[in-house]
Each structure stands twice: as C-alpha cells, then as structure tokens.
Amino acid sequence: MKRTTALLTVTTLLLAACKPTPTPTDPAQTEPAAPVVGQSLDVQDVMGTAQSAAKQLVAMTDPNSPNMDADLKPLLGLLGMGSAPVRPNSLDLSGAASFGKNFVQSLGGQGRVTTQAMGAVQEALATGTHTYTRNGGHQYSELPRDGYVQIDEQSGVRIETSWKVGGAPTVWVNNGYTYDSNTGQVLPLQQEVPTNATGSVTISGKTVAGLKFSMTPGDCLNTAGPTALTLSGWAGRETNAPAKLDLTYAWTEKDVLLSGSALYATTREKVAASMKLNVTGATSDRCGNAFTFTPKRADLTGTLDIPSHKTELNVYLRDLSNLEFSEKAMSAPNALDKIGGTVNAALTFNGKAVVTAFGPLADGRDLDLQPGDQVKFRYVKSGKLIETDFRTAEKDLQELANPRR
C-alpha cells in the first residue's frame, strides 16, 4: 500500500513538471466589456462624480480634520496650511517646494548665485547656511558648499539639502532666456541641477519629510532630456509614511519608460494613485539634429483610488505603423493620416466600464480620409448605450467637459 501511494505521488509530480507553462495573454487582444445601462456611470454624470471625489479629497487633507495623521500636522503648519509654527517671512519655503517640484530651480533665492558664462547667464544651486536667531537676527555661513541649510531657532525648523551626495557632479540645464539690464541683451539662462541629491525637513529634532533625487544626464540632456531619473519622497514619517511619492523615468534604445505612484492617508482613509507608461520602438540620433523615434506599441495604465471613487484607465496600442516623431515628420501636413495599428482602451469607475474603445486605427472605407473611424467607442449617455466612431465620441465627450452655459 505504501509503495502504491509513493508511486502515485511520483507520477503526479512528474506530470505536473511536464505540464507546459501557459503563455501570458496580451490584454490588448481582448475587447473590453461594454458599459451596462443602469450599472455603469453615465457620461453625463462624470463631471458631478469628479466634483464629489474632489470634495472628498479636500476634506481628507483639511489640517483641522480629527482624522489628520498626527505626524503630518507640523509639516502642514510649516507650509501655512494650519497654525504655522514658523515666524512669518523667516524661512524661504518657496525654495524648499521647488526642490521637490522642479530641480531646474535652486532651493531658496537667498543663497542663489548668478554668474555670467560665455554667452549665457548661469544660476547656481543655493549653498551655505541661513540661521534665523531667537532674537530676530540673521546669520549666514558659506558652509556647506555642496548643500543648503535654513534654520529657524525659535520654531526649531531646519530645512536641509545636499546637492552632491557621494561626491556626485552637478550639470547645467538650459532654462529659457533672461534679460541682462547691464548690456540690454537677451541671453540664454542655464540652471545648475544635481545628479544625486537629498533633502529633509526637521521640526524640533524630528525629521518630518525626506526627498531623494538621482539622474543620469546622458549625452543630450539639453536637447532630448536625461537618460534616466528617479525621485522619491515621504512626509510625516519615513516608516509607514502617511504621504509618499515615487517617480521613475528611463529612455533606452528600445523603450521609453515612465512610472509613478503617490499615497496619502489619514487615520481612517487613504488615497492612492499610480501610473505606468511603456512605449516600445526605435530611437536614432537621439542627441543629433536628425532625432527620430518610431514607436511600435504602447501600454498606459493608471489608477486613482479615492474612497468610493476608484477610476482606472488602460490603453494598449499595438502594431503601430506610419508613426514617426521627428522634426520632419511632425511638421508635415496631416502627419497622422496614414497611421496604422490597433487600440484597446477602457476607462472604468468602481469596476464598471465608462468608456471603451476597440479597433484598427487606420482609415476605413469612407471618404473623409481620416484615421480612427474604424475604432468602436461605447459609453452610456442619457440612459442609453452608445456605439459610435471616434469623431462622434469626441464631440459628445467635449460637450460634457465644456457644457454650454
């Protein structure tokens, strides 16, 4: 009996090992389920639903809410959203905000150094330490030379950045033009940008926000952008943070990748958002005058989850043809008229389809010679299921987004 059981067990394991692994199904090949009257969100109710979600989000971020995370309150006060613990005009918070929002601007105008380069004006990253003393005075130190610090002794607030973590170099990025009043000339403006940097906000010895940034500039930062970039930040506390942000970008020879996620949580609810874009194609002369990018497929997925208001977007483009991003192609008349390929897209709300699109992008047999008329759009409008082409759907949705008054 034992030998029989052992034999059956071995046979079962061998059969399981020989079973072929199923090939993953491409989601672009399956037509999305159509919206259902009475169950799906009517497109005429989209704007009202969006306003409801926005109202809920505002309530969740109200610093006076009893559900506000306790570790976020001091930071919100610092930013002027609650009872500010910082003396007015003592800290240059616009610079701190720009650190996280845009690395093409330096942190804090007070420490900014502007120099005249060959044929350009350069704005260096702010460095040194500004200290606002308890008696209302101000002190400045040139140290650190590779970072920037602002201290308010009365409130215990310290904002600090390090521009050259691990000795990483900085780079110069073209940032438009500026007027030189001394010469009467309009000159190119360049901004110094870090390639590996960190930032933090500390209140009464407790770090309440942190930020990390890294970038691979590549050979053509000023023309085609960086080769890769990552940004991550948190607020409140680093472990189980009530607010988080992550962003990743990369441009390889075959792909353009962009993904991001954000989270905000109160003691009772949370809001989460995420997106991912992957475009596969061929890049040539990325740093030269003959730059060309020819996409072949693209995947875009995104989710915005507000309590009772979950929205998802999925767009899949396949077998793209006659589509080229280059100066010559994009400047040609009717550049997209001969585009080929297929589209599979769906916008859902709380798990139910709102709008779907499915079909070939190429022009059909009609006489208008415009692509997209073979794509089948479906949505519920005024209690009826609508199945139509691109131009009718575009008109209906534009009217809903911009209602006549």
Least confident interval from 116-130, 214-228, 240-254: 116-130
Residue 61 has pLDDT above 60, yes or no: yes
Instruction: Please report which helix (H) or strand (E) contains residue 272, including its range.
Output: strand 270-284
pLDDT at 287: 86
How far apart are the two ends of the chain, measured CA to CA in Å? 84
Residue 227 burial (CB count, 10 A): 17
Residue type for 150, please?
A: Q
CB 26 within 8 A of CB 45: no
Angle (nearest 5°) at CA 400 between 394 and 403: 125
CB 284 within 8 A of CB 292: yes
Least confident interval from 23-32, 50-59, 262-271: 23-32
Please give the distance of CA 299 from its chain centroid, rounded to a whole number.
15
Round the average pLDDT of the chain to a whole number and report it: 83
pLDDT in tens, 287-344: 888 888 999 999 999 999 999 999 999 999 999 998 888 888 888 887 777 888 999 9
Distance CA 40, CA 347 (A): 11
pLDDT band at 180 (very low <50, low <70, confident <90, very high): confident
Instruction: Please report which helix (H) or strand (E) contains residue 192, including its range.
Output: strand 185-194
- Name the region of 373 (left: φ>0; alpha: ψ -120 to 50; beta: rest): alpha
Local structure of 223: helix, strand or coil: helix
Instruction: Please report which helix (H) or strand (E) contains residue 176, including its range.
Output: strand 170-180
Residue 222 has pLDDT above 50, yes or no: yes
Give the DSSP letter of residue 337.
Answer: T
**Residue whose C-alpha is closest to residue 156's, from 74, 262, 220, 81:** 74
